[in-house]
A and B are shown apart, each in its own frame.
Chain A
Amino acid sequence: MPEEQCIFCQIASGAVSARKVYEDEQIICVLDINPANPGHVLIIPKDHYSVLPQFPDELIGHVGKVIKHMSLAMLKSLGIQGTTTFIANGAVAGQRAPHIIIHLIPRAQGDGVFPQPQVSQKRPVSDKADLDKITEVLSG
């Protein structure tokens, strides 16, 4: 259910205006007003959920299909060669709003939006093997 004080619930209901590019019964897609790259879209569930695991299966499956087709729409219309989907669950993962948002970001070579994972200077040595493994996997 929508929450009155939530800005994203207000965007989803139309109470607050936004640049809408797609909408259906379950979700609304709007342009981020502070984009990582031009065409950065926020996919917002109309019901208020705090984190992704709260989604019922039907909704998350639907969101997945929207992400795929929105990414295709971006590739066709914006002259880009790739997209990044980013979902942050929890503040430590980068979540900045109490309403879960899916970021779909158009990407270009060397745009610097998402550097590869870096070893933090503060990270204990014993965990370096973990990060090496991450880098290895993500590097193919």
Chain B
Amino acid sequence: MADCPVCTEKKTYEDENIAMLTAGSVTLVVPKQHYPIMEQTPDFIIEKMFIHANHTLLQMFEKGAQGANLIITNGVSAGQTLPHFAMQLIERKENDGLFPLWNPRKLDEETMGAIELKLKEACQNIGVWEEQPKPEEKKEEKTETNETYIKRYLRIP
């Protein structure tokens, strides 16, 4: 998309389906095609993004990172500000002051039970993944070898 900063930004890596941008110690793994949120991104692209992100995390550790976060802010309510779905890989250091963890809450048993039932029902279709679209099959050009020529014209079975 022409007005999307991720679509138009120069990439540090790209292949057919995914790309990476780096800004300081933040690396973004994104689908090449414009998808606003995770739920709209095809399963096979999600899969590739996570595999590539994980390889990148490994490289971070091999280069001496003390720790790293993989964060997905999905939706405006979650703090998503980029219009393009992105996974954030962030190298961490001791006392860097980034991302203080949440305050844990205590919910009563009735509330927890109700949430459990709702989510369980909503999760029933998980496991049926979208298939990757197949590329158009190229027609094989038949090339005649000497052997097939001989067999054809000399009628050798």
Contacts and interface: CB of A to CB of B under 8 A. Distances in A.
A15 to B, nearest CB: 19
Interface in B124-141: 125-127, 129
Given A74-B122, A83-B78, A94 B96 contact: no
Interface in A72-127: 72-78, 80-95, 105, 107-109, 111, 113-123
Given A68-B39, A73-B123, A108 B54 contact: no
Contacts of B38: 67-68, 71, 83
Interface of B: 5, 21, 23-26, 28, 38-39, 41, 43, 46-51, 54-55, 57-58, 61, 65-83, 88, 90, 92-107, 111-113, 115-116, 118-123, 125-127, 129
Contact of B41 (A36, A68, A121): A68
B71 A84 contact: yes
A138 B121 CA distance: 34
B96 A123 contact: yes
B111 A90 contact: no
B83 A107 contact: no
Contacts of A31: 112, 115-116, 119
Contact of B74 (A38, A65, A84): A84
Nearest to B100: A115
User: Which of B55, B107, B113 counts the most A-chain CB atoms under 10 A from its CB?
Assistant: B107
User: Which of A20, A29, A85 counts the most B-chain CB atoms under 10 A from its CB?
Assistant: A85
A103 to B, nearest CB: 9
Given A82-B75, A134-B26, A22 B67 contact: no
The secondary structure that dominates the B interface is mixed
A93 B92 contact: yes
B126 A120 contact: no
Contacts of B78: 82-84, 107, 114
A87 B71 contact: yes
B88 to A, nearest CB: 7
Given A19-B112, A39-B115, A134-B23, A119 B97 contact: yes
Given A68-B39, A123-B97, A137-B23, A22 B123 contact: yes
Contacts of A39: 115, 119
20 contacts: A21-B116, A34-B105, A60-B51, A65-B43, A67-B50, A71-B74, A73-B123, A74-B119, A75-B75, A81-B75, A81-B76, A87-B69, A89-B57, A92-B96, A94-B92, A107-B78, A119-B97, A120-B95, A123-B97, A140-B82
